[in-house]
Each structure stands twice: as C-alpha cells, then as structure tokens.
C-alpha cells in the first residue's frame, strides 16, 4: 500500500472512531436525574412559650412524630439582647405585653419545598431562622427591622416567605431557601396576618394597631393607631392598594366594631374575605370586587367570659379562622369564650360549640376533612370534623401552642 493510501485509510479510521465517540458522549454524561427523596406530609405546631415545635401527623390520629428545638442559639441571642439597652427594653416589653409574662420564642413556621428545613419567626428574638430538620442546626438567620417578628405567609410556589416586622411597620419578603431579602414594603401600625393571593401576584397584610394598651373602651378605639389592609405586588413589592375597614364597617351599620383585622381567610375563588376583629365575638364578610362588607355575624358569647375588655388577650376575643377546601364551612376559634365551632358559610350560623381552653388558631388538616385548632390554655391541639362539627381527637403538645401549619419532612424522618 502506498504512503498516500495508508494515510487516507488512517484518516477514515480516525473519523469513524471520532464519530462513535461523539455519538456515545451524550450517553456518558446524560445520567438520569436523581429522584427527589419522598416526603411525608405533617403539621407543625409552634409552642410559643416553650421555644419548641411539635411535628404531628396531618390527618387521622394526629400523633406526634417528633419535636424540634426552635431556639438552639438561645444563649447567644440573649447575650446580644442584654448588651443592647434598647433591644432589652423591647424584649421585656414583649414579655409583659403580647407574651403575657413569657418569652415569645415561636410564632410562625413553614417548610422549604424539599422538606429539608423549617423556617421560623421568633418574636422575642426579632428574627426569622431556617432550621435544618436533619441536624437541628440553624442554616441562616434574618434579623427583621425593629424589635419583633410576627405572622408569616408562604407563596403558592413555596419559594418566598413574607414576615411581619411588627414594631417597624414593615413586611420583609425572603427567599425561603437562602434567607436573602427579596424586598420589603410599609404597612399600617403593627402588621400581623399575611396572605398570598392564590396566583402569587399579591400579598395582603392586616395591621392590628397597638393591642397592648389598656385603652380598650370603644370610645378610645381611635388611640390604637393606623389599622388597614395593605396589598402589595409580590414581585415589585410596591403597595398597590390600601383598605381602611373603618368606613366599610360604618357603612355596614357596625360603627360599634373595631377595625383591627385579626385572622383572615379568602373563599376558594378569592371573591370574599372573611375576618375576625379585635374585641369581637364574630366575623365579617368582605366582597373584594364591590369593596363592601356584605355580612357581619355575631357568634355565641360565653356568659362566664369577663366583660372587662382589658382582660382579653391582646385585644382579641376570637382569634383563629379557617375554611373547608370546598368553601362551604368556616372554623372559628372563640379564644376568650373557650370554644371552637364549625360555621355554615351560607348562613354564617354556628354549629355545636366544642369546649376548648383558649383556642388560639385554626387551620385545615392535610386531607381537608378537619379543622385543627391550637388550645393555648391546655397545651394541646384538637381536630374538629368540618362535616359533623364534632370533635375528632386531641393531642398533647408543648407550652402555649399557637400557629399550626401543614408542611413536609422526609419520609421516615426522626427528630434531631
């Protein structure tokens, strides 16, 4: 074979080999993506005074799965407070006021989309932290502006969490995985409840004003501050709407009611907003499109409840509201009246009154069948069936449970 012929054959062989390599290359690097670890749906119960979070089953027996320490950095945080005179004043004020003589260690909680961590707002420490569910360690900490963090809300896609900074009248919106602040916006006095719209475009924030003064007579209601709903764009964080319920309540013939909105919940189509108000044993219905209060319902009062409004916890007579997934029933926590009840949304009439000790929150079970309330006075959570209005079960938790949220942990998870 001549030299040119040999060279041509080598070139053809090399080209063939290169073609085989290039054809196989995608097979070598395109490994199948690792399957996400299976998750288990649970409920997180924030034990406000204890600084712990109980993880319970989200349906059925509601049995406890584990307990998390929400303040592993307690000593470090307390030293930082003691060395800052202004922070110490607010810390002690939180104890004496909203804490009813106790520290407020756990307010609200949401899990990350992959179920690897839980994000917690801690009022007494004025921060939000992410706690690793495997190790119990703090992954990140975000100090809110001012001196107290409060209620949170999670975006529909699970990527953002909004937290009220109640002494600075702001809401911070954080990346739930990294803790990076994505934006913030101003609110009325003492922002409290936050709700993302179902499409994730807006955040509704309810400001409750100053609930820790003794100026609780109806004639003194004007002293409580600027109370309103602030609606912000969830992408730009610009305020797009402000709603003062004072004029709406007056127009509905209820000038006797405070305009401080406490827990609130949208109907499934978001055409109606239902909410509780300071000092009120009942709830109101607000039509979003017409911008009017369409109904106000008085709930039963416990004759044993003191008429002295200064004895009611943080100006709230009823505090806790949720709605069945089909929108047919509401669940009301009658905090100072020591009961919870399932309410027909069609008639706004109460069903059987289920005795409860200082019920402080109401949420919906993982399967949508039950309302789950926290009984802060009895250190337990209680499930009430939406269909029957009857109690299903009660489960013991830690000291002074408040917020209850559905979340996720890895399947087979055990507490660190």
Question: Nearest-CA neighbor of 394 among 350, 357, 342, 344?
Answer: 357
For the segment 126-151, the average pLDDT, to the nearest whole number, is 98
For the entire predicted model, the pTM comes to 0.90
Residue 164: which domain range?
37-410
pLDDT at position 222 is 87
> Would residue 182 count as lying in a domain?
yes
114: pLDDT confidence band, cut at 50, 70 and 90? Answer: very high
Q: What is the pLDDT of residues 291-321, one digit of tens each?
A: 999 999 999 999 999 999 999 999 999 999 9
pLDDT at 118 over 80: yes
pLDDT at position 31 is 52
For the segment 29-37, the average pLDDT, to the nearest whole number, is 58
33: pLDDT confidence band, cut at 50, 70 and 90? Answer: low
For the segment 87-97, the average pLDDT, to the nearest whole number, is 93
For the segment 192-210, the average pLDDT, to the nearest whole number, is 97
> Would residue 85 count as lying in a domain?
yes
% of the chain residues with pLDDT over 70: 92
Q: What is the pLDDT of residues 40-72, one digit of tens each?
A: 999 999 999 999 999 999 999 999 999 999 999
Q: What is the dihedral of CA 387, 393, 395, 401, to 10 degrees?
A: 40
CB atoms within 10 A of CB 381: 26
H-run or E-run covering 149: strand 149-154
Q: Per mean pLDDT, which range of 62-76, 86-100, 329-343 is the poorest?
A: 86-100
pLDDT at position 350 is 98
Residue with more model confidence, 362 or 32: 362
35: pLDDT confidence band, cut at 50, 70 and 90? Answer: low
CB atoms within 10 A of CB 291: 11
> Would residue 22 count as lying in a domain?
no
State the total domains in the chain. Answer: 1
Residues 108, 152: contact at Cβ < 8 Å?
yes
Residues 171, 163: contact at Cβ < 8 Å?
yes
> Would residue 20 count as lying in a domain?
no
> Would residue 19 count as lying in a domain?
no
Cα–Cα distances (Å) from 61 to 58, 137, 292, 379, in that order, read 8, 29, 41, 17
The span from the CA of 92 to the CA of 102, in Å, is: 9
pLDDT at position 157 is 97
> Would residue 8 count as lying in a domain?
no
pLDDT at 30 over 60: no
Q: Cα-flanking dihedrals φ and ψ of residue 39, to 5°? A: -115, 155
> Would residue 401 count as lying in a domain?
yes
The span from the CA of 176 to the CA of 170, in Å, is: 18
The span from the CA of 251 to the CA of 58, in Å, is: 41
Q: What average pLDDT does the structure give for the chain? A: 92
pLDDT at position 405 is 98
pLDDT at position 17 is 43
> Would residue 5 count as lying in a domain?
no
pLDDT at position 220 is 87
Cα–Cα distances (Å) from 223 to 93, 117, 311, 312, 318, in that order, read 19, 41, 18, 17, 21
The span from the CA of 94 to the CA of 2, in Å, is: 96
H-run or E-run covering 354: strand 354-355
212: pLDDT confidence band, cut at 50, 70 and 90? Answer: confident
Q: What is the pLDDT of residues 158-193, one digit of tens each?
A: 999 999 999 999 999 999 999 999 999 999 999 999
pLDDT at position 214 is 85
CATH of the domain at 326: 2.130.10.10
The set of residues, in sequence order, having a beta carbon less than 8 Å from that of 229 and lying 6+ positions away, is 204, 205, 206, 207, 241, 242, 243, 245, 261
37: pLDDT confidence band, cut at 50, 70 and 90? Answer: confident
């Amino acid at each position: 074979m001549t030299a040119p012929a040999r060279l041509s054959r080598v070139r053809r062989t090399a080209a063939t080999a290169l073609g085989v390599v290039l054809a196989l290359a995608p097979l070598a690097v395109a490994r199948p993506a690792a399957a996400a670890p299976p998750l288990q749906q649970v409920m997180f119960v924030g034990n406000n005074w204890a600084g712990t979070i109980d993880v319970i089953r989200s349906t059925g027996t509601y049995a406890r799965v584990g307990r998390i320490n929400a303040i592993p950095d307690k000593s470090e945080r307390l030293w930082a407070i003691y060395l800052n005179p202004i922070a110490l004043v607010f810390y002690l004020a939180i104890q004496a006021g909203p804490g009813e003589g106790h520290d407020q260690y756990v307010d609200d909680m949401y899990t990350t989309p992959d179920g690897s961590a839980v994000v917690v707002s801690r009022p007494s420490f004025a921060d939000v932290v992410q706690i690793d569910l495997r190790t119990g360690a703090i992954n990140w900490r975000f100090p809110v502006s001012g001196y107290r963090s409060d209620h949170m809300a999670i975006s529909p896609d699970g990527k953002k969490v909004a937290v009220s900074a109640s002494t600075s009248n702001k809401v911070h919106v954080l990346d739930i995985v990294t803790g990076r602040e994505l934006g913030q916006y101003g609110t009325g006095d003492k922002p409290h409840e936050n709700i993302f719209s179902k499409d994730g475009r807006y955040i509704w924030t309810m400001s409750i004003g100053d609930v820790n003064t003794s100026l609780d007579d109806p004639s003194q209601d004007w002293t409580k501050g600027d109370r309103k709903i602030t609606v912000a764009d969830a992408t730009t964080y610009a305020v797009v709407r402000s709603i003062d319920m004072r004029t709406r309540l007056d127009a509905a013939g209820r000038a006797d009611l405070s305009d401080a909105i406490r827990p609130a919940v949208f109907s499934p189509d978001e055409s109606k907003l239902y909410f509780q108000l300071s000092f009120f044993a009942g709830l109101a219905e607000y039509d979003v499109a017409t911008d009017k209060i369409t109904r106000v319902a008085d709930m039963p009062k416990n004759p044993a409840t003191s008429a002295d409004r200064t004895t009611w916890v943080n100006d709230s007579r009823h505090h806790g509201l949720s709605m069945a997934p089909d929108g047919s029933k509401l669940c009301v926590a009658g905090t100072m009246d020591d009961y919870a009840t399932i309410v027909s949304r069609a008639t706004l009439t109460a069903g059987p009154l289920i005795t409860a000790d200082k019920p402080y929150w109401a949420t919906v079970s993982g399967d949508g069948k039950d309302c789950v309330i926290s009984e802060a006075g009895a250190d337990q959570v209680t499930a009430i069936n939406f269909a029957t209005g009857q109690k299903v079960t009660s489960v013991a938790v830690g000291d002074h449970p408040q917020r209850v949220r559905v979340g996720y942990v890895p399947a087979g998870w055990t507490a660190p």
